[in-house]
A and B are shown apart, each in its own frame.
Chain A
């Protein structure tokens, strides 16, 4: 199962509000009411959409931000020069926690600033937020219209397709169902599967790539050979064949399949990057200190690759979506409704291409997918700035 089936729920809202009390409380305590309220709202939203997980993560983040504001202005021993003599260097556990939170908060604030600074990237971010928002909150307001509606047949018409009208703003599909409701309900599955696929592919690529480069020798040769081999087989045709062999009972397997085929490209890049990093002084130093492979990779190598990895993860998500929609389009993936890809497939099958009444059934998802993918690509620019501080000044 997809591990992220999300729809906004009322209990989630309650959880979110409860979580929001923490930043609000901290804000009140440190006279940062404005940021406290922002925290409350964000926590409520996050809890609303992602329930406990969302609410808790947002709680930590917003509280950190509130604390960072509070401490910059007041008690931070490292930034407020005025009180430097008064600082007691033996900090209590609470103070330690506060300091860590403040650091986290500053990082978040910097990231957000970096995110906003690149206009194109921010636009992409807004776009992603828009689609995620629609998938998460849309179902609350728009009921899914899944039943056949023969009664909506216009007199004299041969099909239930209808052009967009004031009642159905995107028109009706071949079963007389509201296309708008399918747009609202149909993106989630696709977006989640793509994200899963992209995440898994990236994870595999990074782990395998880093391992190959750091261990070297036979391990490296074998892993590289496997990667080269997978890269040689034409991907889409292979997916075509595999998709008809494995009948996917759910989309998660599809994500796995995509990941299995698409990790090698990124893996090779990661491997090359790690190889070059390996020669750097600080890594050599860590090797000399015999700090252990996991430590070296996680603490020394990965942070320097973060920007590269995150950007590639977005690309990976994008191509996962491409392949999934492509396979659905060729009819090789379970046609679970509602789903944007299925709309394209069924619309085409039912002749919507050649009938202007039905064009909306294909055009709507096509445009949505295009916009979403565009948002992803634009978003990478911001991500580059967020994760690669050196870039923050440029472009």
Chain B
């Protein structure tokens, strides 16, 4: 790293005063990892917010005209009828100066207020996100978890039995999984499974949950939840498991070649002990970091899949709101997703330190 050498100026040695003590304290705070990444994170989020704030208002058209058009086409109203219904209903003035809008927004944001949605009856944006976020977390999170676990086990097995038929078959599968984009898989499931072969009734599997079942902690509701999340999760798993398998395989292979494994063999440790205690743990290290980083992208990585399966998650909602030009909502979702990435990156760093003692020692 390009560390700048710290040059001491010759200063007369003086008694430690309150000032220098607090300076020392401040310096140690400044040097502390948490402080630095927090400041960096906040700075990044501020830049992201500012950029997106500007960009989304540069998108053509504005929420009012979009709503008028929607009323005209959907409700068969004349332009004047639609305009009289929509005019002035939105809490948004397209003519307000940009700087004014920006300072207003940032002022609220500092107080933790994400503002109110423009197009949907002034609902607070935080409430909107709270509504759609859990669905995305559930679907993508489940998909990530399943593919990660399968990828770990299969990848390690592939490495252990490398060169066998099992390895070749699994590697081929993993390559296919890794090679095909997720939305292509989604289409194939819908088109081939649902429409051409009629393996399942598409209507029963899209959406979020069967509305006839009361929400709650009961078997039917959970069954319905799982049934509706099945297709998106299957898609996520099929699309990402290959990547995990291949990474785990190569990571395991390189671990198997390490000296300490040879030493362990030489010490006569049981195969089991070596596999789980030594190889598995060390091979998983780089993957855990990747997992932590993937978690950050959980929120944003699912627009197309949610759109195809009409799954009421944050991605689909973001797409809809982009279409409606609901500036505050788009802004809020961007902020939350970026924050997730920032936080998960920090966590990944910390996690790596916890999992791998060598790193803790290495970095002063």
Contact surface of A with B, Cβ cutoff 8 Å? 120, 215-217, 220-221, 228-229, 231-238, 240-242, 244-245, 275, 318, 321-322, 325-326, 329-330, 344, 353-354, 356, 359, 362-363, 366, 369-370, 373-378
Contact = CB atoms under 8 A, between A and B. Distances in A.
Contacts of B181: 321-322, 325-326, 369-370, 373
Interface string B172-192: 100110111101100110111
A356 B196 contact: yes
B328 to A, nearest CB: 14
A45 B145 CA distance: 49
A332 to B, nearest CB: 9
B182 to A, nearest CB: 8
Contacts, number: 125
16 contacts: A232-B45, A232-B341, A234-B337, A237-B303, A237-B333, A237-B337, A244-B322, A245-B58, A326-B181, A353-B190, A354-B195, A359-B196, A363-B187, A363-B191, A373-B179, A377-B178
A246 to B, nearest CB: 9
A275 B1 CA distance: 8
Contacts of B51: 233
A369 B179 contact: no
Interface stretch (B13-21, B126-134, B294-302): B294-302
Interface residues of B, number: 51
Nearest to B318: A237
Contact of A233 (B56, B179, B338): B338
Q: Name the residue among A236, A237, A321, A330 with the largest chain B CB count within 10 angstroms.
A: A237
A241 B319 CA distance: 9
Contacts of B188: 366, 370
Contacts of B341: 231-234
B52 interface: yes
A329 B322 contact: no
Given A241-B55, A353-B195, A369-B184, A236 B179 contact: no
A373 B180 contact: yes
A215 B1 CA distance: 10
Contacts of A375: 179
Nearest to A245: B58
A220 B3 CA distance: 11
A241 B178 contact: no
Contacts of B187: 344, 362-363, 366
Contacts of B333: 237
Interface of B: 1-2, 4, 40, 44-45, 47-48, 51-52, 55-56, 58-60, 171-172, 175-176, 178-181, 183-184, 187-188, 190-192, 195-196, 297, 299-301, 303-304, 307, 315, 318-319, 322, 330, 333-334, 337-338, 341-342, 345
Contacts of B40: 228
Contact of B299 (A234, A241, A362, A377): A234
Given A241-B330, A356-B195, A232 B303 contact: no
B338 A376 contact: no
A330 B319 contact: yes
Nearest to A376: B179
Contacts of B338: 232-234
Q: Name the residue among A245, A362, A366 with the largest chain B CB count within 10 angstroms.
A: A366
B191 A242 contact: no
A325 B341 CA distance: 25
Contacts of B180: 370, 373-374
A-B residue pairs, 6 tightest by C-beta: A216-B2, A234-B300, A374-B179, A377-B179, A217-B2, A370-B180
A217 B4 contact: yes
A375 B175 CA distance: 9
A221 B1 CA distance: 10
A373 B178 CA distance: 9
Contact of A240 (B45, B176, B196, B322): B322
A225 to B, nearest CB: 8
B242 to A, nearest CB: 9
A330 B307 contact: yes
Contacts of B56: 241
Nearest to B45: A232
